[in-house]
Amino acid sequence: MCLAVPLQIISINDDMAKAGLVGLVKEISLALLPEVTVGDWVLVHAGFAIHRIEETDAEETLNLLRELGEVNESNHG
């Protein structure tokens, strides 16, 4: 099963960005969402930001993933 994961934008360089979650930082493409800014939350699938979401929606999704065991709490910090 493929999931889109919420990540927060840390930095932007042209159409690429660094985005993070619980201590993990990934380089992602912003080609589909050029209007995204640092601090925004996005859904990421296959290395592409595919949708901008509100922080409350990101937290709700992360809580559900934690319940499913997809996000390891020991990675915080």
What pLDDT was estimated at residue 73?
A: 54
39-54 pLDDT per residue, tens: 999 999 999 999 999 9
pLDDT of residue 76 exceeding 90, the answer is no
Q: Which amino acid is at 3?
A: L
Structure-token match 């859904």, residue found: 43
Average pLDDT in the chain: 88
CA-to-CA dists, residue 1 to 4, 15, 32, 45, angstroms: 10, 27, 22, 12
Helix (H, G, I), strand (E, B) or coil at 68: helix
| Structural domains of the chain in order of their starting residue, each with its CATH number | 5-75 (2.30.30.140)
Two structure tokens written together for 74: 């020991």
* pTM for the model: 0.81
Query: Is the pLDDT confidence value at 69 over 50?
Result: yes
In this prediction, residue 23 carries a pLDDT of 84
